[in-house]
Structure 1
Amino acid sequence: MKINLVVIGKKMPDWIQTGINHYQKQLPAQLNFSLIALEAQKRKGKNIEQIKELEGELILKAVKDSQLVIAFDERGKQHTTKDIAKNLGNWQQSGERVSLIIGGADGLSDSVKSHANQLWGLSNLTLPHSMARLLAVEQIYRAHSLLTNHPYHRD
């Protein structure tokens, strides 16, 4: 099994990076989790669609070996932590290579959304991309804790 969180943007506020590092360190080696941060495109001389397409090309290259691609999108299906845990358990059993995608400040290109097997929503709230990144890593950890009966998650 392999889980990649593919994101646009390399520079995060220190407190966000500290949180991400905290949860990443707690994930077991068998989840084979990695965060792949791709360079955000420069805005100068480009419109939003061009930026999304350029970032989309980078994302599609990064997920090319994945068997399951899930893109986070504001119109994606909302899932509970228990739903995510169930998915994580299924991925572990099947040994799938899974890529979760968080786009850049302008969102995801249509080509990335159409390539994704599923669109998930992280929240009905509008989140900064740095918070979405932290939330995604925390939810992977929380889902794992549910599967292993660790007391981190409480109903």
Structure 2
Amino acid sequence: MKLRILSVGHKAPTWLQTGYDDYAKRIQPMISTQAVELAPAKRSKNPSSAEIDKYKTQEGQAILSTRQPKEKLWVLDVKGKMLSTEALADRLKHAMTDGQDVAIVIGGADGVSADVLASADFQWSLSNLTLPHPLVKVILIEQLYRAMSIIHNHPYHRGG
């Protein structure tokens, strides 16, 4: 199984990138993980709702064109299903058993397009809170690492 994180956004501050890199390095022996950075659409200063829809569509096209054949698409969305870490571990274990590759999408500042949501195999919410996208990426990789620790009976989940 291969896991890719497709993230729309600007370069993360160094302290967040350091956190992401730490967990990305830790997870590699358990699951092949790759981060794919996608440039956000160029935005005007005070966009109209029609312009925001246009941005989401542009970013959605970039996301969908980056998707690999037969790759399952898990999309982070505030309206998605919330999971415990144990439930995430079960979902990952099932994907691994089935030999599925998974791409997890972190949308742009305005969320993801309707096309991306319609293409999603799973819509997942990390929180009801609004979080900065670079922080979401760190939280996501940490939770993926924690879930993989559960699968591999690693002590991180109990004390990390």
Task: Structure 1: state its 5+ residue gaps.
Answer: none
Name the TM-score, length of structure 2 as normaliser: 0.91
Q: Name the residue aligned to 1:110.
A: 114
Name the TM-score, length of structure 1 as normaliser: 0.94
Checking the alignment, whether the CA contact within 8 Å between 2:30 and 2:148 is kept in structure 1 is no
Task: Structure 2: state its 5+ residue gaps.
Answer: none
**CA apart distance, 1:54:** 0.3
**CA apart distance, 1:71:** 0.4
**CA apart distance, 1:10:** 3.9
Q: Which of these residues, 119, 133, 136, is aligned with residue 137 of structure 2? A: 133
Q: Which of these residues, 147, 150, 153, is aligned with residue 149 of structure 1? A: 153
Deviation per CA, 1:90-119: give whole Å up to 9, x if none. 121111111110100010000100010111
CA distance in 2, matches of 1:148, 1:141: 10
Letter matched to residue 63 of structure 1: R
Quote the RMSD (CA, aligned, Å). Answer: 1.6
Letter matched to residue 5 of structure 1: I
CA distance in 1, matches of 2:28, 2:43: 38
Q: Name the residue aligned to 1:19.
A: 19
Deviation per CA, 1:61-113: give whole Å up to 9, x if none. 11142431110000000000000111111121111111110100010000100
Q: Name the residue aligned to 2:40.
A: 40
Letter matched to residue 36 of structure 1: V
SS across alignment from 1:141: helix
Letter matched to residue 94 of structure 2: N
CA distance in 2, matches of 1:131, 1:81: 18
Q: Name the residue aligned to 2:55.
A: 51
Deviation per CA, 1:17-53: give whole Å up to 9, x if none. 0000000000134511101110111113961111000
Aligned residues: 155
Q: % of aligned pairs identical?
A: 37
